[in-house]
Structure 1
Amino acid sequence: MSETQPDPQHTDQPVTPVLTSKQAKRANATVVGMLIATGLTLALCLVPVLLNPAPKMQARNVDVAAAANQAAGDAGYRPLAVELPDGWSANYARWNAGTNDGVPNWEVGYLTPDTEFISLTQTNAANPTWIYEHTGNSTVAGERPAGGVAWELRDSSNGEATLVTEIEGQTILLSGSADLAEFDVLAEQAVRDLRGN
């Protein structure tokens, strides 16, 4: 019996295709064309975005004291109407009856001098679930003193901060995108107002 020799042309190694120069040119042209088309599409999408920057919040100067007086009967407590330094303004002040979450609350939206936003929420019916949901499912990052009170500092996934405290049966939440130094200003005034100082 004779042994058969393996045929070098029929080995098990994969065959590497060889492209002609015309085929290679066409393949490269397709890739280059796709990259150019993608670049042009991105450029066209960026033009409107760059020409229309995100608007800053505009001050509305809502009369918070008047709205707080109207809400006091429904609230059963004195809603906060803090006096803030020049440059601060209120965008809204409203009483939420708690029909969606079962926790009635007073809410005021403030613009800082740097046109950043902080909302103040006050309630006498808070519970841990409501606080967790109302603070954007944030996690506790530590404590921050302001106005002689220890505030719980929470950080959320969207980059906003929240300060939470309880004073004389009232839960106060401050949430927004402002610098923590501006949170301190609002927190100190809220504590003073709540304690009647």
Structure 2
Amino acid sequence: MAAKTPREKPAPTRVPQAKPPRVVAELGRPETPEETAARKAENSRKHRANQTLRNLLWSLVASVGLMLLIVIVVVRPAQPPREAVDFVTIAEQAQPTIDEPLATPVLPPQWDANNAELSRAADGVSSWYIGMVTPSDEFIALNQGIDANPTWLSNLLEQRAATGTETIDGREWTIYDHRDAEDPGNFAYSMVTTEGASMYVLHGTADSNEFRTFAASLESEMAAGE
């Protein structure tokens, strides 16, 4: 009689045990389903809020960067050059109102007037003014004071003291060189001379050579009034 083959016993079925609920430290007990749902909803809300804030900051950085790029890269249109003032015509229009001839110096090319006017000071001194831009892009002004007095000159030069004299084309000019002052402004250098009823004052920021050129151009004007 054949021997019986022993049967294999079926492996025991393991039933997975449920994971115990997580104990929340703040509560001292497991969360309820409602508390779990509320916690997850709050975490999602905070994540969305942080994401929105980051997106806002990046958008702001991008906008500022684009604005700076436009300012740096975009070429601004050049301003048209300022038209020179025709001081000769202005002098001709003002001349009938005053007896003393108004100076209209003939200067080399690249000298441009930016202002010209005849005015009367509170003390009754009439002053013919021409503002010039020199070839080196500096400034020299002429003030022709008619029947001027020392007070008018002192006020015009802001009480600056004379520092010397210089002779140009045989005419002596008093020099007021204050280019070393802390803030000389438009009276860094001045030259003064008198002819007839007129006192001629040059002042500005140009170098001495350009002042000499301007002074020499006035010589024919002053000679005509002698």
Q: TM-score category by the smaller chain?
A: 0.5 to 0.7
Amino acid at match of 1:187: A
Q: Quick check: 1:144 aligned with 2:172?
A: no
Report the counterpart of residue 93 of structure 2 in structure 1.
70
CA contact (8 A) 1:120 1:173 kept: yes
Report the counterpart of residue 176 of structure 1 in structure 2.
204
Q: Quick check: 1:192 aligned with 2:220?
A: yes
Match of 2:132 among 110, 113, 124: 110
Q: Deviation per CA, 1:124-173, whole angstroms, max 9, x where unpaired?
A: 21111110110122111000112321000013443311100001231100
Report the counterpart of residue 88 of structure 1 in structure 2.
111
Q: TM-score, normalised by structure 2?
A: 0.58
CA shift, 1:59, in A, is 5.3
Q: Which runs of 5+ in 1 are unaligned?
A: 1-57
Aligned equivalents of 1:182, 1:60: Cα separation in 2: 22
- CA RMSD of the aligned region, Å? 2.0
Matches within 5 A, 1:34-49: none
Aligned residue for 1:115, secondary structure, equals coil
CA contact (8 A) 1:147 1:189 kept: no
Aligned equivalents of 1:124, 1:97: Cα separation in 2: 10
CA contact (8 A) 2:126 2:145 kept: yes
Q: TM-score, normalised by structure 1?
A: 0.66
Where in structure 1 do 4 or more consecutive aligned residues deviate above 2 Å? 155-159
From the superposition, tell whether residues 60 and 135 of structure 1 become closer, same or farther in structure 2 (CA, over 3 Å).
farther
Report the counterpart of residue 135 of structure 1 in structure 2.
157
Aligned equivalents of 1:169, 1:77: Cα separation in 2: 7
Amino acid at match of 1:194: M
Alignment length (residue pairs)? 140
Aligned residue for 1:139, secondary structure, equals coil
CA contact (8 A) 2:174 2:193 kept: yes
Q: Which runs of 5+ in 2 are unaligned?
A: 1-80
Q: Deviation per CA, 1:61-101, whole angstroms, max 9, x where unpaired?
A: 11111111111122211111111001111011100022x34
User: Which has the greater radius of gyration?
Assistant: 2
CA contact (8 A) 2:100 2:197 kept: no
Amino acid at match of 2:215: A
From the superposition, tell whether residues 59 and 88 of structure 1 become closer, same or farther in structure 2 (CA, over 3 Å).
farther
Match of 2:190 among 162, 184, 194: 162
CA shift, 1:104, in A, is 1.1
CA contact (8 A) 1:79 1:106 kept: yes
Aligned equivalents of 2:130, 2:123: Cα separation in 1: 18
Identity across the alignment (%):
29
